[in-house]
Structure 1
């Protein structure tokens, strides 16, 4: 499947016709964990798992992966598979991940270089033309809300939907977070466009029936989105800010 990269006329048309735009948080709005700064949180989770005596639930990749969500997901899968005594461990790990995300969200909000270029302007432009906005993220909704509030962007979002503390198995690529946002907004999949930056975002949008625009900030991200068959990928929001593509622009 051919992927359109930086075909801004198509993206402008999609956004202009959308009643709502669903933003992934980490990537499309900011870099929540720049320079692999998520790894200390993942390492902390592994220490908690070892102390609990449950290191056997981690596979080879999960023992070294920088993403705490990967570690969290491994424990959740073991719990679902019937491994005994893991519910309390999962609750503890969720608390650790949320605390780490909250610290990162506040830190990144205070440093402009980790804000996604032109994201603020795009959010304001979409709101100005009457689109309803929502966040759909695998991060804690508390972290996303804290970050957006610090940047003065929270009032533009009708809802912020994130990882369910009681069921991390519903993180993307499961479409649950998209469906939750759409229910709050009272809209259907055909009313929405999602902006995301990972293959899991591509899959979640496809499973929800939501049109998708990929944001690839570098060549690695663009290649991953193309391999996932994102229909459209852009490398900057800049041209969307400059163009005139909807009522109230």
Structure 2
């Protein structure tokens, strides 16, 4: 339960007080990865590639029309776990993410927030469903790698461990030697919230618009920020 005050209307001081480590989702809280490289087109291209190999029937109509590359990837992995097909599809998605990283938009206030939090002594990690290669490329372009390295935990070949599975959060907790209650996760999707809850990690929601905020609150997030500025202001004071 967060404690709200007039000077801290979101209860951020109470939420962040125990956070020895901060676990960041990548696409959303740190940047908009597909701001200049359509995720919808990536999903369409992955579907087309499957169909070119005679695998049209591998996806349901809902999966085929989802326009979400992770939905496509998960669906194929469920039917052919650990296969060469899944490995090739995952690598295709990684290459698209790497291209997207070159035109990603920084989330407002994220860069100074990362630097400030690291400067005041918190340890930071990335826990994401994106490829760790992509995360490193983007962070290097912003001069932020040293704020996180080596704690970047992203997609592996074991796709069943993608969030909402808490696997990447637990990897970070174990590697950094911190109890779940002494961490904080910043995420922007209900799957981030579920992963945090399953790992026992307090959660702070970030939503770049009202629609995403509504989804997080409907999923049970207690604190949802539509800007990271109040959090940055708190840390600076």
TM-score, scaled relative to structure 1: 0.87
Q: C-alpha displacement at 1:244, in angstroms?
A: 5.0
Instruction: Note the aligned Cα RMSD (angstroms).
Output: 2.2
Moved over 3 A (4+): none
Match of 1:12 in 2: 13
Corresponding residue to 2:95 among 88, 99, 109: 99
CA distance in 1, matches of 2:165, 2:9: 28
2:33 aligned residue = 32
Runs (5+) with no aligned partner, structure 1: 81-85, 109-113
CA distance in 1, matches of 2:117, 2:163: 24
* 8 A contact 2:206–2:227 mirrored in 1: yes
Which residue in 1 is equivalent to 2:46?
A: 45
TM, length-normalised to structure 2: 0.92
Please give the residue correspondences for 1:68-79 in structure 2 after superposition, counting only pairs within 5 Å.
68-79=69-80
The answer to whether the Cα contact below 8 Å between 1:141 and 1:163 also exists between their aligned partners in 2 is yes
Contact 2:40 2:68 in 1 (8 A): yes
Higher relative contact order (CA 8 A, sep 6+): 1
Quote the residue 1:54 is aligned against: 55
State the Cα distance separating 1:60 from its structure 2 match: 1.4
Alignment of 1:1-249 (within 5 A): 8-34=9-35, 37-80=38-81, 87-108=83-104, 114-158=105-149, 159-164=151-156, 166-244=157-235
Q: Secondary structure at the match of 1:65?
A: coil
Paired residues in the alignment total 233
- Measure, in 1, the Cα distance between the counterparts of 2:84 and 2:144: 35
